[in-house]
Amino acid sequence: MTGKLSSLPVLHQTLLRQIDSQAAALGLPAYLVGGGVRDILLGQPALDLDIVVEGNAIQLANVLSSKYGGALTIHTKFRTATWQPPEGPPLDLITARRETYRAPATLPDITPSTLANDLARRDFSINTLALRLADSTLVDLHNAQVDLQNGVIRVLHPQSFIDDPTRLYRAVRYEIRYGFTIAPDTLALIPPALPFVERLTAERLRHELDLAFHETCPARVLARMFELGLLNAVLPDVLPWDSDLAKQLDSALAVHPAPEWGLGLTFNGQPLNLVLGYAAWFSGLAQSQITLLHERLTFPLTVLKNAQAVSALLAELPALAGSKPSAWVRHLTDVPLTALYAAHLISGEDAIKRYITDWQHIHPKTDGDALKALGLPPGPRYAEILWQLRAAWLDGEITTPEQEQTLLNSLLNSPMTE
Ligand code: CTP
């Protein structure tokens, strides 16, 4: 593999060589396009490999999977296929197409076409580069190399943001990720396109916000979105932003939670940075505002529940301050772990940390079986007695098994409390 492609990991190069040879056998010109080429030229790791084929990409994908194995996902309507080879990253194989938008913010209609038309349908000049796999020739039809060198984000035509308002959010991500600047002409197209954001589906719009949390500096991405009116375009005057929030978000996302929090890279199937990111961002909002945002953006349940829990807990902290450990435990037991972590970071409340490190692990020696063996009839008294014993341990009222036994005897002999 020659030239530019030689900077790719060996496995990627092998896959591209396989695609090149099978495309050549079918007589189909194939190109690496978009973000992959952009990142190679920027000297960044190019992880996203999108291949455009002048001809039938699905036919090529079928040949690749029967020759080299792996799995295929075919989208007949879009004339694309994703090939997951037995080893290495998935590759998107795209039939070169022309796109037309019937209405702003809808998905475009596509017709098979040339590479040139495929590049012309794209968002920004820096994403229009193509590398011909056969000989590594760079195709640059939109002055992309100059824009890459000057660090400029530039749309290809004035209607671009209106056709696809997700591009407003994409522009900001690139600006912050690469330290680039949106070109003045492109910047001027943003305000007139803002009213079209409301036409985006919940899923497409939320996806754009989600992606901010996968960037290296989410707070800077959101700050710039706020500055350009992109947050206000989601819902007027609901999505907050200020420098305190930026700090909260940075502290929630900058480092992975310490081991005692027991948090992995995902929480209930959602990426941890997404759950923590939204929870920190919405921490100062009222429940009704979070509900409004959910109505517009339809968050996954885990994201929603955590954001609600953090905002509720932070609102309750003043009343809980200085309470006995048992009161904290009663309150924190059903709060999701990620919400506890976010609330601790934001408030600095030490009791939340003590709950994680100590209190949640404190339980009486007596359990339900022991109460049964003592002849206690089934009913709500089980939970009440076990809780009273636990609370006494938590609050330091008992410190030995003998004291627990004495307390248990007196509880068994006393009438049930309401
Ligand atoms: N694209 C576009 N308009 C969009 C989304 C994508 O023109 N609204 C084009 C761009 O040419 C982009 C390519 O489709 O390069 C692939 O999209 P995506 O994978 O989202 O972007 P990447 O360029 O790979 O950038 P990132 O590194 O952010 O994933």
Tens digit of pLDDT at every position of the chain (418 positions): 456 788 888 899 999 999 999 999 999 999 999 999 999 999 998 778 999 999 999 999 999 999 999 999 999 989 999 999 999 999 999 999 999 999 999 999 999 999 999 999 999 999 999 999 999 999 999 999 999 999 999 999 999 999 999 999 999 999 999 999 999 999 999 999 999 999 999 999 999 999 999 999 999 999 999 999 999 999 999 998 999 999 989 888 988 999 999 999 999 999 999 999 999 999 999 999 999 999 999 999 999 999 999 999 999 999 999 999 999 999 999 999 999 999 999 999 999 999 999 999 999 999 999 999 999 998 999 999 999 999 999 999 999 999 999 999 999 988 665 4
Q: Which residue has the tokens 């359990």?
A: 367
Å from CA of 35 to ligand 1 middle:
6
309 falls within a domain: no
Q: Which residue has the tokens 């193509």?
A: 130
Q: Considering all CA atoms of the chain, what is the largest pairwise distance in Å, rounded to the nearest integer?
A: 89
Burial environment of residue 231 by CB neighbours within 10 A (0 to 12, 13 to 18, 19 or more): buried
Q: Tell me which residue of 391, 394, 395, 396 sits closest to 411, measured CA to CA.
A: 391
CA distance linking residue 332 with residue 337, whole number of Å:
9
CA distance linking residue 197 with residue 169, whole number of Å:
10
23 falls within a domain: yes
137 falls within a domain: yes
Last residue of a domain, one of 132, 150, 168: 150
- The answer for residues whose C-beta is within 8 angstroms of residue 154's C-beta and 6 or more apart is 124, 125, 126, 147, 182, 183, 185, 186
Q: In b/e form, how buried is each residue of 122-139, taking b as 16+ CB within 10 angstroms? A: bbbbbbbbbbebeebebb
Identify each DSSP E strand in 133-265 by its residue range.
Answer: 138-139, 152-153, 181-182
Containing 18, the helix (H) or strand (E) segment is helix 10-26
114 falls within a domain: yes
92 falls within a domain: yes
75 falls within a domain: yes
Burial environment of residue 340 by CB neighbours within 10 A (0 to 12, 13 to 18, 19 or more): buried
Å from CA of 379 to ligand 1 middle:
60
Ligand 1 nearest atom to the CA of residue 36, by list position: 24
Q: Is 142 in the pocket of ligand 1 (CB under 6 A)?
A: no
Q: CA distances (Å), 157 to each of 35, 123, 130, 154, 409, in order? A: 19, 9, 19, 9, 81
Express each pLDDT in 186-212 by its tens digit.
999 999 999 999 999 999 999 999 999
Nearest CA to ligand 1 atom 25: 35
310 falls within a domain: no
Name the residue type at position 29. P
Nearest CA to ligand 1 atom 23: 35
186 falls within a domain: no
Region for 262 from its dihedrals, namely left if φ exceeds 0, alpha if ψ lies in -120 to 50, beta otherwise = left
| Parallel, antiparallel or unpaired: strands 152-153 and 181-182 | parallel
Q: Is 99 in the pocket of ligand 1 (CB under 6 A)?
A: no
Q: Is 97 in the pocket of ligand 1 (CB under 6 A)?
A: no
Last residue of a domain, one of 118, 150, 182: 150
Q: Encode 201-233 in three state secondary structure.
A: CHHHHHHHHHHHCCCCCHHHHHHHHHHCCCCCC
Q: Is 215 in the pocket of ligand 1 (CB under 6 A)?
A: no
| Structural domain boundaries, residue 397 | 368-412
CATH of the domain at 138: 3.30.460.10
Nearest CA to ligand 1 atom 24: 35
Name the residue type at position 232. N
Q: What is the DSSP string of 343-361?
A: HHHHH--HHHHHHHHTGGG
Domain count, the chain: 2
Å from CA of 329 to ligand 1 middle:
47
Express each pLDDT in 232-276 by its tens digit.
999 999 998 999 999 989 888 988 999 999 999 999 999 999 999
Q: Is 167 in the pocket of ligand 1 (CB under 6 A)?
A: yes
Ligand 1 nearest atom to the CA of residue 39, by list position: 27
CA distance linking residue 77 with residue 90, whole number of Å:
20
Ligand 1 nearest atom to the CA of residue 174, by list position: 28
CA distance linking residue 273 with residue 289, whole number of Å:
22
160 near 105, Cβ under 8 Å? no
Q: How many CB atoms lie within 10 A of CB 170?
A: 18
Express each pLDDT in 83-125 by its tens digit.
999 999 999 999 999 999 999 999 999 999 999 999 999 999 9
CA distance linking residue 136 with residue 142, whole number of Å:
18
Token readout for 32 is 């690496």
> What predicted TM-score, i.e. pTM, was given to this entire model?
0.92
Helices 272-281 & 301-320 angle (0-180, nearest 10) = 50
Last residue of a domain, one of 150, 170, 189: 150
Å from CA of 356 to ligand 1 middle:
41
Å from CA of 109 to ligand 1 middle:
17
Å from CA of 161 to ligand 1 middle:
14
Describe the chain by its helix, strand, coil percentages, rounded to 5. Answer: 55, 10, 35
Q: Tell me which residue of 379, 338, 378, 331 sits closest to 355, measured CA to CA.
A: 331
